[in-house]
Structures are given as structure tokens and as C-alpha cells.
Amino acid sequence: MPDSSHTLDGPIEPGAGLREAGAGLLETAWRPVVSVVVPVFNEASGLHEFHRRLRSVMDAGPDRWEVVYVDDGSSDASCALLQSLRLTDPRVAIVALSRNFGKEIAPTAGLDHAKGEAVVLIDADLQDPPEEIPRLIAAWRDGFDMVHARRLARSGESWAKRASASLFYRLMQHTGKVRLPRDTGDFRLMSRRVVDAVLSLREQHRFMKGLFAWVGFPTTTIDYDRAARHAGHSKWNYWTLWNLAIEAITSFTVLPLKIATYLGMAVALFAAVFGAQLVVRTLLFGNPVAGYPSLMAVVLFLGGVQLITLGVIGEYLGRVFNETKGRPLYLVERFLPSQSAAR
């Protein structure tokens, strides 16, 4: 897997290579069975309760586990709280990014640092209950590489948000070659080979739900009821959701380009028919002066079609431009491994 992350650390100390090699052997011996990846952005008000419930659930199972918190440039006390959790729980690892890289990048950073044979991705707002994780693990042990968690109910969300989410999933199921499972978010379990496959995809414009669907592998689904947020407020508004939808559509289908082509063909056909009937009317009835309002309507319509088409082309061209820069997906300001692994 290509390395697309950078760590801003100091100079390498003498003998660091030997220490890293020894640490690598210890880490391999301790290697957890399950890693839980948790992106965090300004979630200080609910972190303690989330970790308490997660630890209660995971300690009840037989598997060795770790939790990888990814601090995505939080501006509140989230990072300090994560460090305090790490002091009391040796299974906590922290990946602190150098700034906010966004909801689709933070999970990638967590997957890059997760060591488990199975990796659970979950948010810290407790809308996705940690108590459902044992069901995900049970389905993985039954032989499935990908276990989706499908939402049956979405408590705490407005009717407009639920309706727009339903419309989005329906649209993505009927466009492109990759079909998203309906009503599924980031909450899921992936086997190690699925994680490695996803991490081999290092594109800059990332729509993680689409990447999870694209890699394939044996998949199953569990159903659950999504709860309301435990604390704080959602970082998503309609503008950010709209941008996410544009990202998803342009990442996994060229349908907008085809629509622009068909729209241009339709306008050209309409113009040919209109021109033909204009010639016939002139030959039969003379050449009266055309009305100014109708002329303006035609000009504005054609101008709007051209601008829309240029905008669609610009969206795809901008993504090509960003991919050609070859920048890393994220920068790590600090990585604190779990203390058990460090020993």
C-alpha cells in the first residue's frame, strides 16, 4: 500500500531503527483481533460516555481489541480528553491530524493505523450504538468480509433530512456501476483484506461509502435503530450534505456528463425543428418581425444550458486537477499508539 500520509516528527534518534524493530515484534505479538476506528471532530461533550459504553461492550467479549481515535483538527478539548482516556486505558491509540481534513479523510487515517484482523468504523456521537458491535463481529465470524449496519429508524433527525437521505440513496442505486446499500452509513465492520483493499485506493476525492461498496467481497447486513445524538450538535448542514452528494455522484458515475450531452442534443434538435418551421412559415406567410420577448427567452435558455454544461465539465476537470497534484491525503501531527502495543 502506498504511503500517502506524512508525520511531522523531529529528527531520528540514534538506535531508533532497532527500537522500532523491537517494538514491531512486540506489536505483532500483541496484535488486536478487533480495532475500532472512531473519527472525532469537536466531540468533547460526549467522548467519556462513548468510551465508557464502548469499553463495556468490548470487554464483555473474548477478543483482544484496541480503539483508534482520529482527532480531525478539533478546536475544542477533544484532543486533551483523548489523551486522558489513553492514560487510563492502555488500548487507546490517538491519531491527531495537523488540521481538519474532513469526514471522508479521517476514517482513512484511522484505517491506516488500525492493526486488527477486523476493523469496526463508528462515529463518536452515539447515534450508532456501540452495543451493536458484537452483532457485527458475529457476522464476520460467520465468514463475511463486510458487515453493513442498516438504519431502520433515524431518531433525532428532521423529516426533510430523512427524505433527502432516502432520495440520495435511491439515486445512487440507479446511477453508475456501484450500488450503495440503502440506509447505511459509515458504521460497519471490515475484515483485514477489505481494509487493505480500501487503503489501496488513494484518490483525493473520497466518498468512503462508495469505496466500501466498490471493493466488493462477501457482504451481509444487520439492522438497527439509530439513536439521537448523546451530546453536542451535528456538523452536517444541508450545504455540506449537498456537497457530499456532488462528491459521491462525480466520484462513481459520469451520468452528469451524459445528461449534459443529451441535453445539448435535445436543444440542437429543438433548434433544427424551430428553424425548419420558421423557413416554412416565411415561404408561406411572409417574414413578420419576431417578438423581442421570445428572442430573449431563447437566448437565456441556451445560455443557461451552456453554463450548466460547462459547470458539469468543470466539476470533473477540477477533480482531475486535484488528483494530478499527488498530495498526501492527510498529515499527522502526532500519533500515540496504544500503550499495550508500545510495551
Distance CA 237, CA 306 (A): 30
Residue with cell 435503530: 225
Paired residues of 118 in beta bridges: 34, 191
What distance in Å separates the CA atoms of residue 68 and residue 111, rounded to the nearest whole number? 9
Residue range 197-246, pLDDT digits in tens: 988 888 877 788 878 888 888 888 888 877 765 455 555 556 666 666 67
Alpha helices, H only, the chain: 16-30, 47-59, 78-88, 106-113, 133-141, 159-173, 192-199, 208-215, 238-252, 255-285, 292-324, 339-342
Please give the grid coordinates belonging to residue 181.
446499500
Cell digits of residue 193? 483484506
Quick one: cell of 49? 460516555
Q: Is the pLDDT of residue 27 over 60?
A: no
Q: In this structure, are residues 4 and 200 in contact, taking their beta carbons and an 8 Å threshold? A: no
pLDDT of residue 29: 52
5-237+328-342: what CATH class? alpha beta
- Residue % of the chain over a pLDDT of 70: 69
Angstrom CA distances, 43 to 39, 162, 244, stand at 10, 23, 21
Which residues, listed in sequence order, are joined to residue 184 by a DSSP beta bridge?
A: 150
Q: What pLDDT is attached to residue 159?
A: 62
Residues 6+ apart with CB under 8 A from 16: none
Amino acid letter, 179: R
What is the pairing mode between strands 219-226 and 34-40? unpaired
**pLDDT for the residue 119:** 92
DSSP state of 296: H
* pLDDT tens column, 39-80: 988 888 888 888 889 888 888 888 888 999 998 888 888 888
pLDDT value at position 26? 44
Q: Please state, in angstroms and rounded to a whole number, the distance separating the CA atoms of residues 290 and 281.
A: 12
Q: How far is CA 169 from CA 126, 164, 196, 256, 307, in A?
A: 23, 9, 26, 17, 27
Render pLDDT for 121-130 as a digit per residue (tens, 0 to 9): 988 888 888 8
